[in-house]
């Protein structure tokens, strides 16, 4: 299954909806730059990519993931999503993404550092605060960003903290970055509940993925009175109809345990988890979790894509036919890249902005972007999905920039 081809189908659908010309859509069907190498570490070869999809709105921007299943199709798709996400978020970036086919869970600290530094050694000529700015992604973190920054600065012979985001505060990072994705997701969830559910109480929620974003949004919703009835991580999930005390579950998880080992609740596998009877399903794990094989079995009425690409094209069509409401990834998980923009801007200007000011700015941007998407959806009388509304806004902005640059004939 090609995730990238799935995305192209969505673009082709939108071409018809928005009356986009063949010349216009063609400029969005392929990435601008695909960089590939193999990292030679301890006599092993690790495939590595850095892909820039588009730079009409600004330099490339997107994370770097370390994962044993990383491949070019996935990185192409992620870079396309970043292009759309950055455009929709109204920040001055194009889209990019990187990855190494490597399992960091089986590596010691020295090997992890070597992979990080060799990645930058391979691609540093394409990176920089005005070219392409990486950030953390799946199985990468602030320490990895620190090694990458250090290697980059050694290679170019100058300090340039703005070349990467998600750094520790001591190296120019901002505190807001650590929970920004989940905070943005929480804000959009609340807006969605207000619009579609009239702030109904006692809503049940299942959260697939209990990493940083998953546990943060679980905590916020729990404190607001939502009933978190199911949670899962990479080793499995648990379900309890009466709901969990999420604060106790977070403490259990942070002590190095899997939620699957929690003594309260019924154990469920991933397939069972996705099909649980809940009002809201939050997908905060990996791509392709809901496909044509299980879409008809999804009971949740509202599905929120806190992860990138968790629902494939065919599943999208099935869920829409069943009148499920999907809040798309390029909207709901954009808090992280918005906070990265704040970090990058501070690094470039040298101005240190107050955390409360930045948090309020993040909140305002997320609510504004939600409203823009919802208004587009409402304008079309429900004839398009929220995903199509978000894509339309993002793509039209990119195409306008391409026309202004002279890359598309007016």
Closest CA to 373 of 4, 87, 73: 87
| Catalytic, out of 16, 32, 85, 97 | 97
One-character DSSP codes across 21-68: -HHHHHTTSS-SEEEEEEEEETTEEEEEEEEEEE-SSSSEE--EEEET
97 included as an active-site residue: yes
Beta-sheet pairing, 204-208 with 280-283:
parallel
Residue 231's DSSP bridge partners are: 207, 238
Tokens in use for 266?
A: 């019924």
Integer Cα distance of 334 and 144 in angstroms: 21
In what helix (H) or strand (E) does residue 375 lie, and over which residues does it extend? helix 355-379
- 349 burial level (CB within 10 Å; 0-12, 13-18, 19+): exposed
Neighbours of 291 (CB within 10 A): 16
Beta strands in 55-200 (DSSP E): 60-61, 64-67, 95-101, 132-133
Closest CA to 229 of 241, 213, 214, 247: 241
**Exposed e or buried b per residue across 361-376, where buried means at least 16 C-beta atoms within 10 angstroms of its C-beta:** ebeebbeebbebbbeb
Integer Cα distance of 240 and 251 in angstroms: 18
Neighbours of 143 (CB within 10 A): 15
Chain centre to alpha carbon of residue 266:
29
Contact 192, 302 (CB under 8 A): yes
Tokens in use for 190?
A: 């609340």
**Among all residues, which ones are annotated catalytic?**
97
């Amino acid at each position: 299954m090609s995730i990238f081809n799935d995305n192209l189908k969505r673009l082709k659908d939108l071409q018809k909806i928005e009356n986009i010309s063949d010349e216009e859509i063609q400029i969005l069907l392929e990435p601008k730059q695909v960089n590939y190498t193999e990292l030679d570490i301890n006599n092993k070869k690790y495939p590595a990519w850095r892909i820039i999809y588009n730079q009409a709105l600004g330099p490339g921007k997107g994370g770097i993931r370390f994962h044993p299943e990383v491949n070019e199709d996935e990185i192409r798709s992620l870079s396309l999503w970043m292009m759309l996400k950055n455009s929709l978020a109204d920040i001055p970036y194009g889209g990019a993404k990187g990855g190494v086919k490597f399992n960091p869970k089986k590596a010691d600290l020295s090997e992890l550092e070597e992979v990080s530094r060799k990645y930058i050694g391979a691609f540093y000529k394409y990176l920089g605060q005005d070219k392409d700015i990486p950030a953390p992604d799946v199985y990468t973190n602030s320490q990895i960003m620190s090694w990458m920054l250090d290697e980059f600065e050694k290679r170019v012979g100058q300090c340039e903290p703005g070349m990467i985001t998600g750094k520790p505060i001591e190296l120019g990072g901002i505190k807001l970055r650590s929970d920004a994705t989940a905070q943005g997701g929480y804000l959009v969830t609340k807006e969605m509940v207000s619009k579609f559910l009239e702030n109904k109480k006692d809503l049940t929620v299942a959260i697939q993925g209990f990493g940083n974003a998953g546990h943060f949004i679980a905590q916020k919703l729990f404190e607001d009175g939502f009933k978190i009835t199911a949670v899962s991580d990479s080793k499995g999930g648990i379900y309890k109809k009466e709901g969990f005390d999420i604060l106790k579950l977070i403490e259990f998880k942070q002590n190095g345990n899997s939620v699957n080992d929690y003594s309260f609740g019924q154990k469920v596998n991933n397939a069972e988890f996705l099909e649980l009877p809940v009002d809201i399903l939050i997908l905060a794990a990996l791509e392709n979790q809901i496909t044509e094989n299980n879409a008809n079995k999804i009971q949740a009425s509202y599905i929120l894509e806190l992860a990138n690409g968790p629902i494939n094209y065919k599943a999208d069509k099935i869920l829409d036919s069943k009148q499920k409401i999907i809040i798309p990834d390029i909207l709901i998980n954009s808090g992280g890249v918005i906070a990265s923009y704040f970090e990058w801007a501070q690094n470039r200007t040298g101005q240190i902005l107050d955390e409360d000011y930045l948090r309020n700015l993040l909140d305002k941007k997320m609510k504004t972007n939600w409203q823009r998407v919802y208004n587009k959806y409402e304008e079309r009388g429900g004839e398009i999905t929220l995903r199509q509304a978000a894509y339309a806004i993002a793509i039209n902005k990119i195409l306008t920039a391409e026309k202004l640059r002279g890359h598309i004939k007016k």
